[in-house]
Amino acid sequence: METTRKSSEASEVVILERCWIVEFRSKTNVSIVLKFQSGEPDLYLEAASKPDCESWAVALGEANSEGLQNKIQQLRRLIMEIKEERSSDEAQQFLPSSQADSLGEPQFTSIRRIANEPKLEFSLACKDLVAATRDRKLNTFIQVSVVHPAEHILTRYSSTEIVEGTRDPLFLTGVTFPPEYPIYEETKIKLTVYDVKDKSQDTVRTSVLPDHKEPRADVGRSFLGCTTFRVGDLVKSKEQQLTLTLRTSDGGKTVGTIEVNLVKMGELEDGETDHITTDTQDQKCALVRECTATEGISDKDNLPSLNAVLKNPICKLYRFPTSDNKWMRIREQMAETTLSFHVPKELINLHIKEDMRRNQELKDLGELAPHWDNMRKSVIAHCDQMLSMYQDTLAELGKHTGSSFKSSCSKGEKTLEFIPINLHLQRMHVHSPRLKDALYDVITVGAPAAHFQGFKNGGLRKLLSKFEAERRNTGYQCIYYSPENTAKAKEVLSNINHLQPLISSHADLLLNSASQHSPDSLKNSLKMLSEKTELFVHAFKDQLVRSALLALYTARPGCVLKKPAVPRNSAEEGSDLQHQDHPSQIKRQDSIPHHSEYDEEEWDRVWANVGKSLNCVIAMVDRLLEKDSISSIKEGENDPSAADCKVLRTDGDWYEQLYPLVITLKDCMGEVVTRAKQSMAFVLLQELACGLPQCLMLTLRRDIVFSQALAGLVCGFIIKLHTGLHDQGFLQQLHTVGLLVQYEGLLSTYSEEAGMLEDMAVGISDLQKVMFKVIEAKSEDFLPVITGRREHYVIEVQLPAKMFELLPQEIKEGKLLRMYPVLFNVGINEQQTLAERFGDTTLQENINQENLELLKEYYKLFTEKMPPDCLPHFQEQNDLKGLLENLHQNIQAKKRKNVEIMWLAATICRKLNGVRFTCCKSAKDRTSMSVTLEQCSILRDEHQLHKDFFIRALDCMRSRQTQGALNESDDPETGCLTDNKPTSRHFYPVALLLVSSHLLVVWLILSLALLLAKYQ
């Protein structure tokens, strides 16, 4: 230290060891006091200003002996790594320079592996670790780093979990390298063992950083030792096991050994067992690793179609003891899906075509009276704006080249509002001794909701109800049609667009058969023409078409009513409905005019002419075939050999006799199509005009929510189909009953999440109208194809030829497969606590009750159509009945945060071969906690996980530290997390605020006041 003179020499030397700094500030001076643990007198230092005082405190904190020792150790490790990389005996084996120059890059030895399986997997255990002090109980974990042979850069890859209180730690978390990871036999792997002083303070996250950048010393962990091995040495070792010596950073002192065991899931290990006995309280169990030969789950034929859907898998490997002290191995896999963007883009493209067709139909209505014409212009203008928005969104999505999923950070972006949030497949592959391998899949996705549009006025469930109530009171400006009638109008238009080309095509085939004078072909063509024409005629047997034609007649210019336009009352409607072939189609028609001079029977004559024309065609074909048969018989009597010959006859040409009748049929059908299209377009005009622009905005919101929900459903269906391809019971259930799709919601009923839940409920309900169809792929493009229109979509799933042949005949013939989506929601966070105490949980209760009835309906269909012994999970019928009854009782109980509802619903879904979804706001914290809890519960209940290891297994799966080297495509929240974010979260939050009681009371009162104001 110096004196007060500026140019003075050092007058005193202070050794900063085992001391701490106390900083005092006052108005007069700023000073620092150094206090020593040794009991030496305090050292008082006075600074000239506050900045000087702060800089002194920082400098003194960094100048202590402990910090300098850590820096020295860090430099020693860096020197060792440089020596290892430059060592000739451990250098990578390159080709000769001449070959290297010709190839342009070095060649490395690949690792043999099964297709689509991880390249390398191994487990770790340490023995005889040496602690810094004799009485110290070690809390250790291993950090795994990789030296890439081409780059010579050490990269952190992953870490194990922390094992507490033992010098012989057995790590349950293994290391796995996915199929696409660039690892070779020449690759070196470095294992570094750390001792964690305080587990709660060890919040360092592993990332792709140079390994010499060590974490700060104050994070509560210390370096014990490290070792390095080549991948080729492990793979080629006779016992497929390496025992390595751990050494200190200077390479001199031995601090223990580490065992590396190669893992091959599902393969026989020549009957060998590996006994590892632990003697600590946390690991008191004789752990025996023993594998048996099992059937392979994955088929190499599945790979092309699965790889088209899944990408960027992240694998984690675990080994847990069973109740009979044997090993079971678990591979946990999370994968993205290309469907996150593919399905929304397909849907938006269909929306654009459908809206363009609707706009053209509105323009083709013909001349209208001024009032109706102005209404039409306004509607078309708004529709064009919405159509332009869809086109812009599709163009922006076409430019997207980044990640194949949308992270929660982007949920508010307008260009990505059709894309689901964090859509991933979470798969658990379990290989346990004496049991067959099992797969458990859960699709995780953020709740389908319109985040960009917001939830200020609630979600779709509330908005649609409010909109329908307001539309009933539109007055004289437009005619009110119920939602059922507008849906019927869309269905009629869809049938017209679908059937008219088919009928025209079959009519041409009939004429072609007549020109060839082929009786068999003529019969087949007539049969197809009759079937399609009957469907066409049947589509217009509805009172809606007749009433819409009358309304359109009164909307024409120059129409003078001799009677005033009066609404049809219920008595008139009742008398009319008695004479309809399909009653109950119209519940209410407000202000539909009635004109005395309008001939209501004209429409009946028009569409009846189609049937009469078809009858004429049928009669003519029968007459021609009858004459042909008689002529053939007569010729056969004269010349027996001529009866077997089919010759063309020029007399009485069939084509000439059928042609006028077919043309008449087409003309009559064209007249029906023109009138029906105009009448149904007029109905849609009323629907749009009654609610502009809110109607279009609600349609947009519903499209957004449905797009997110459908992307997840398509992903779940494809994964389930591939998994159950060899299960004949499941395939029979699929085409006989349909597929159960169970959504587990974790949203609260408070604030914005209540609106999200309303959106989600409507989006999942709309999935009931989606049908699936499995077709044989004709090319290498296995992505699904979407056809249809709003509320009536068909998803065509493409399979390779070998896989397609495994399907039942009904599915191969194109039978449409139904979906049965159900949603059960239980809010579990602190916002749900507020909703239960001061808000309203009716929304959640209603949703759960409604979907319970849907689940019971599916179970009833299943028991009626499927044999009791069809499914492996269905050996006990009473078991499912008991679960359903228990679920019913829990829903009726209205218990706060009743997570038993979620567990029961998930169990029923798995027993019924359904698809599981887990959703929260962003598919992050609550979703991950739920999925990991479910996985460990399955291991305990189905695979005999040792009861003493349940919590430890749960900690392994939830630990962020074991996730390894994450990048932006792996972690949905990269760029959104902060370094001080906690590394784990509790599934059942118990605290609201850590404040004084007075502040808590004030806060609760204000929250209650805001809540009441919101719902008034």
Rounded to 10 degrees, the C-alpha dihedral 78/81/83/88 comes to: -160
Task: Give the angle subtended at the CA of 337 by the CAs of 333 and 340, to the nearest 5°.
Answer: 140
**Out of 140-154, 451-465, 868-882, 965-979, least confident range:** 965-979
Tell me: pLDDT of 155 over 80.
Answer: yes
pLDDT value at residue 614: 87
pLDDT value at residue 402: 78
d(CA 471, CA 480): 7
Tell me: pLDDT of 253 over 90.
Answer: no
Q: Do 796 and 775 touch, CB atoms closer than 8 A?
A: yes
pLDDT value at residue 759: 96
User: Are β-strands 438-446 and 739-745 bridged in parallel, bridged antiparallel, or unpaired?
Assistant: unpaired
pLDDT band for position 633 (cuts 50, 70, 90): low
Q: How many CB atoms lie within 10 A of CB 162?
A: 23
pLDDT value at residue 73: 66
The burial of 251, by beta-carbon neighbours within 10 Å (0-12 exposed, 13-18 middle, 19 or more buried), is given as: middle
pLDDT band for position 448 (cuts 50, 70, 90): very high
Which positions ≥6 away from 954 have C-beta within 8 Å?
932, 933, 936
d(CA 827, CA 847): 12
pLDDT band for position 64 (cuts 50, 70, 90): low
Residue type, 493: L
pLDDT value at residue 198: 64
pLDDT band for position 265 (cuts 50, 70, 90): confident
Q: What is the mean pLDDT of residues 499-520?
A: 88
Tell me: pLDDT of 941 over 80.
Answer: yes
pLDDT value at residue 227: 92
- Tell me: the pLDDT tens digits for 9-59? 666 777 776 676 776 656 566 777 777 766 677 777 777 777 777 777 767
**Out of 129-138, 496-505, 828-837, least confident range:** 129-138
d(CA 435, CA 452): 48
How many C-alpha atoms does 232 have within 13 Å on its Cβ side? 12
| Residue owning tokens 């056969």 | 636
Could you tell me which residue, 339 or 475, shows the higher pLDDT? 339
d(CA 652, CA 106): 82
Could you tell me which residue, 960 or 493, shows the higher pLDDT? 493
- Tell me: the pLDDT tens digits for 332-373? 999 999 999 999 999 999 999 999 999 999 999 888 988 889
Rounded to the nearest integer, the mean pLDDT of the chain is 78
Residues in the chain: 1016
121 bridge partner residues: 176
Q: What is the mean pLDDT of residues 495-515?
A: 88
Tell me: pLDDT of 99 over 50.
Answer: no
Closest CA to 496 of 360, 684, 674: 674
Could you tell me which residue, 477 or 120, shows the higher pLDDT? 120
- State whether residue 277 is helix, strand or coil: strand
| Residue owning tokens 């197809």 | 528
pLDDT band for position 165 (cuts 50, 70, 90): confident
Q: Is the dihedral of CA 441, 445, 447, 448 positive or negative?
A: negative
Q: What is the mean pLDDT of residues 445-457?
A: 94
pTM over 0.85: no
d(CA 207, CA 156): 6
| Residue owning tokens 């678990």 | 330
pLDDT band for position 290 (cuts 50, 70, 90): very low
- Tell me: the pLDDT tens digits for 306-335? 888 998 888 899 999 998 888 899 999 999
**How distant is the alpha carbon of residue 193 from its chain centre?**
38
φ/ψ of 883, rounded to 5, equals -65, -40
Q: What percent of the chain has pLDDT over 70?
A: 73
Closest CA to 492 of 344, 297, 680: 680
- Tell me: the pLDDT tens digits for 682-726? 999 988 888 888 899 999 999 999 999 999 999 999 999 999 999
d(CA 747, CA 450): 15
- Tell me: the pLDDT tens digits for 756-814? 999 999 999 999 999 999 999 988 889 999 999 998 999 999 999 999 999 999 999 99
126 annotated active-site? no
**Out of 80-89, 122-131, 187-196, least confident range:** 80-89
Q: Do 783 and 338 touch, CB atoms closer than 8 A?
A: yes
φ/ψ of 224, rounded to 5, equals -105, -55
Residue 726 tokens, joined:
């060899």
19, 126, 920, 956: the active-site residue: 920
Closest CA to 334 of 406, 427, 407: 427
- Tell me: the pLDDT tens digits for 201-226? 443 333 333 444 444 444 567 888 99
Distances (CA, A) of 542 to 93, 268, 539, 577, 716: 80, 68, 7, 10, 38
How many C-alpha atoms does 93 have within 13 Å on its Cβ side? 10
pLDDT value at residue 9: 64
pLDDT band for position 979 (cuts 50, 70, 90): very low
- In sequence order, which ranges of 93-221 are alpha helices (DSSP H)? 97-103
Segment of 146-150, 153-157, 922-926 carrying the highest mean pLDDT:
922-926
Segment of 213-222, 520-529, 582-591, 841-850 carrying the highest mean pLDDT:
841-850
d(CA 831, CA 751): 8
Which positions ≥6 away from 640 have C-beta within 8 Å?
none
Could you tell me which residue, 842 or 559, shows the higher pLDDT? 842
578-596: b or e for each residue (b if 16 or more CB lie within 10 Å)? eeeeeeebbeebbbbbbbe
d(CA 372, CA 369): 5
Q: How many CB atoms lie within 10 A of CB 625?
A: 15
Q: What is the mean pLDDT of residues 555-581?
A: 46
Q: Can you give the C-alpha Rg of the chain in angstroms?
A: 37
Residue 126 tokens, joined:
């340490």
pLDDT band for position 282 (cuts 50, 70, 90): very low
**Out of 124-133, 148-157, 423-432, 962-971, least confident range:** 962-971
| Residue owning tokens 């260009």 | 415
pLDDT value at residue 973: 41
Residue 89 tokens, joined:
């005996």
pLDDT value at residue 28: 61
- Tell me: the pLDDT tens digits for 808-847? 999 999 999 999 999 999 998 888 888 888 878 899 999 9
Count of helices and strands (H, E) across the chain: 26, 26
191 bridge partner residues: 144, 227
pLDDT band for position 377 (cuts 50, 70, 90): very high
Which positions ≥6 away from 273 have C-beta within 8 Å?
288, 289, 290
Could you tell me which residue, 147 or 111, shows the higher pLDDT? 147
**Out of 155-159, 482-486, 602-606, 787-791, least confident range:** 602-606
Q: How many CB atoms lie within 10 A of CB 601?
A: 10
Tell me: pLDDT of 975 over 60.
Answer: no
Distances (CA, A) of 532 to 369, 496, 505, 526: 36, 11, 11, 10
d(CA 735, CA 739): 8
Q: What percent of the chain has pLDDT over 90?
A: 37
pLDDT value at residue 672: 87
| Residue owning tokens 């290498």 | 780
| Residue owning tokens 């699965």 | 306
Closest CA to 367 of 376, 359, 358: 376
Task: Give the angle subtended at the CA of 466 by the CAs of 461 and 467, to the nearest 5°.
Answer: 100
Residue 884 tokens, joined:
């359903």
Residue 921 tokens, joined:
């706001």
Segment of 366-370, 419-423, 429-433, 995-999 carrying the highest mean pLDDT:
419-423
pLDDT band for position 584 (cuts 50, 70, 90): very low
How far does the chain reach from its first CA to its final CA, in angstroms? 72
